[in-house]
Amino acid sequence: MKLYDLELSGNCYKVRLFAALAGIELEMEPVDVPGGAHKQSPLIDLNPWGQVPVLIDDGVVLRDSQAILVYLARRYGGNQWWPDGAAQQAEVMQWLSTAANEIHGGPNAARLIDKFGNPLSKERALEISAQVLPLIEQHLGQHEWLALGRPTIADCAVFPYVALGWEGA
Ligand SMILES: N[C@@H](CCC(=O)N[C@@H](CS)C(=O)NCC(=O)O)C(=O)O
């Protein structure tokens, strides 16, 4: 199983974190994103979005860290990480959406501006961060884990950009 990876990427971090916790072996394929390799073949053929992470496993090609987490957990991780029940799956899914939406637009965007010079609105990134981070703080003040009272891929999706948040404070 091959992961097209960028070490500094929080989205790639999500996949590496879960793989490490679940004991899934990844063949790492570093992508020279600063040099533009993600916009060229072979990456662009695998992911027309021109982004990492990309996972290849057994003929399956996947982009998007949340989708990769669901795939890996479902196929290799067991029920504890991605449960079968409708309500339980939706509870985890709420947090995957938070990672892809508010955390992406908040702490991730602020870090992109400060660390990589991306031309995004810092004001807007901090505004979104100021909305989402207290909600996470409040939730974790009352729950040990984000969903289901145990570690799930929700934690793997949310943790990296929150932990790296100080790089875009
Ligand atoms: N929704 C995607 C976003 C992926 C993404 O934004 N990847 C960044 C690295 S963290 C990237 O490849 N950026 C280069 C670009 O967009 O040109 C995910 O969750 O994996």
Å from CA of 51 to ligand 1 middle? 5
Å from CA of 43 to ligand 1 middle? 12
Q: What is the pLDDT along the chain (169 residues), one digit of tens a residue?
A: 999 999 999 999 999 999 999 999 999 999 999 999 999 999 999 999 999 999 999 999 999 999 999 999 999 998 999 999 999 999 999 999 999 999 999 999 999 999 999 999 999 999 999 999 999 999 999 999 999 999 999 999 999 999 999 999 8
Residues with CB under 6 A from ligand 1: 6, 9-11, 33, 38, 50-53, 64-66, 100
Kindly report the three-state secondary structure assignment for every residue of the chain: CEEEECCCCHHHHHHHHHHHHHCCCCEEEECCCCCCHHHCCCHHHHCCCCCCCEEEECCEEEECHHHHHHHHHHHHHCCCCCCCCHHHHHHHHHHHHHHHHHHHHHHHHHHHHHHHCCCCCHHHHHHHHHHHHHHHHHHHHHCCCCCCCCCCHHHHHHHHHHHCHHHHC
Looking at the chain, the domain(s) classified CATH 3.40.30.10 span: 2-77
**For 2-77, which CATH class?**
alpha beta
Fold that domain 86-168 belongs to in CATH = Glutathione S-transferase Yfyf (Class Pi); Chain A, domain 2 (1.20.1050)
Q: Give nearest CA residue, ligand 1 atom 18.
A: 64
